[in-house]
Structure 1
Amino acid sequence: MEKTKEVEKRTLFERLGGTSGITAIVDDVVQTHMENPAISKRFTAYNDKPERMAVIKKHTVDFFSAGSGGAVEYKGRSMEETHAGMNISREEYTHVIDDIMQVLDKHGMSEDTKKEVLAILWSLKGMIIGQ
């Protein structure tokens, strides 16, 4: 019982493994997106732009670290600015979420942690879909 209470007190950032854990998750998510035929074209376009992909990954790590309780300052653009002109569909966003959940499973995240991440992703959908 004590262990459960201790786990519940940890921030999402801590449960995701801090900056290093979130970095590993982001790396795996991007790779999974590249292998997902429904959305791969949005990501494989960066195969010949590794410097740009590194910036995107860094912003993603910082965004999720800051939003999950880490002492990290996100200095990137807003979600609307970042996704402007991309016209991401609901279907594509669903694939993104599915890929993220698959990676969280791979990293052994608890159901509660996955639900919390899902809630964050769901809260961002209006800032990303159809922009």
Structure 2
Amino acid sequence: MTTATLYERLGGERGIAALVEDIVETHMQNPRIQARFLPYREDPAHLEEVKGHLRDFLSSGSGGPQEYRGRSMPEAHRGMNINEAEYMAAVDDILDVLDRHGIDPQTRLEVLGIAYSLKGEIMYV
């Protein structure tokens, strides 16, 4: 018996791409954090670059074949001064999107654990 990887449980390349689209759109609609994401609408090329990094990050971190070549979490978030409320709003958005995509509760908990493990690398850096 083989156990599916997190990458496979998230739907592989296509599933992760769909999740990223919805996560970014949900962040743009969330009044608590939308100010950080709406400027990307003004620069579609940069928005696509950010989405590409997020797809690669999620793929690589979940056992998929894509290699993440973006900046480290502290480097990517340095100077943004992300606070606890903003961080939790982003995590809540991610969990909501996973739920809407039919991702099972155990997988959502695993993603939540990963999100919490990155908290110190993203907040107040």
Match of 1:83 in 2: 77
C-alpha displacement at 1:100, in angstroms? 0.4
Corresponding residue SS for 2:52:
helix
* TM-score between both structures, scaled by the size of structure 2: 0.98
Alignment RMSD, CA only?
0.9
Match of 1:121 in 2: 115
Cα separation, 2, equivalents of 1:28 and 1:71: 22
Corresponding residue SS for 1:46:
helix
Give the structure with higher Rg (CA).
1
Corresponding residue SS for 2:112:
helix
Match of 1:99 in 2: 93
1:36-80 deviation line (CA, Å, top 9, x unaligned): 000000000111100001000000010010000001111100000
Aligned residues: 125
* TM-score between both structures, scaled by the size of structure 1: 0.93
Identity of aligned residues (%): 51
Cα separation, 1, equivalents of 2:81 and 2:31: 17
Q: Show structure 1 runs of 4+ deviating over 3 A.
A: none
C-alpha displacement at 1:19, in angstroms? 1.2
Q: Tell me, which stretches of 5 or more residues in structure 2 are unaligned?
A: none
